[in-house]
Amino acid sequence: MNKVIKDLPQHLQEEEKQLRLHGINNWFLVKDLQDEKLLEIAKKSRATTRNLKRIRGMATLICEINLSQSEASLLLHAGVPSVQALASLTPSELMNKTGRLERQLSTGRKPYVDIKKASNWTINARRANSELTQ
């Protein structure tokens, strides 16, 4: 499976450009980047290590839990930066976090994360977390 990185938000455009220049064009490659490589990319460009680490966090959620890019971004911005963090939440806690973010953004739409989706995500995160720690 090849999950291509596409159309990151405007504030991550420099990081996306630098990843592509280094031949890193899919989420699996980003997920496996070591801190040293992130520092190297940031030193030679306007990309920041902070944003590169955020993108790597999204990549881990995308690859390990099989989330879409927008779902991983939602979790990241709702304060769920990792598989471990997601695994530690109950579905209700996850709905509260994502719902709070959506209310702050005043989307005016039905919340994206319902109890079924929250339950699936937390179950998948626990499964992935146990595989990562073995």
Helix 49-65 to helix 115-132 angle (10° resolution) is 100
Q: How far is CA 95 from CA 65, 79, 98, 115, 119, in A?
A: 17, 12, 5, 7, 9
The amino acid at 42? A
Cβ neighbourhood burial of 115 (10 Å; 0-12, 13-18, 19+):
exposed
Enter the pTM of the model. Answer: 0.88
From the first residue on, what is the mean pLDDT of each consecutive set of 10 residues in the chain (134 residues)? Answer: 84 96 96 97 95 96 94 93 96 93 79 92 94 70
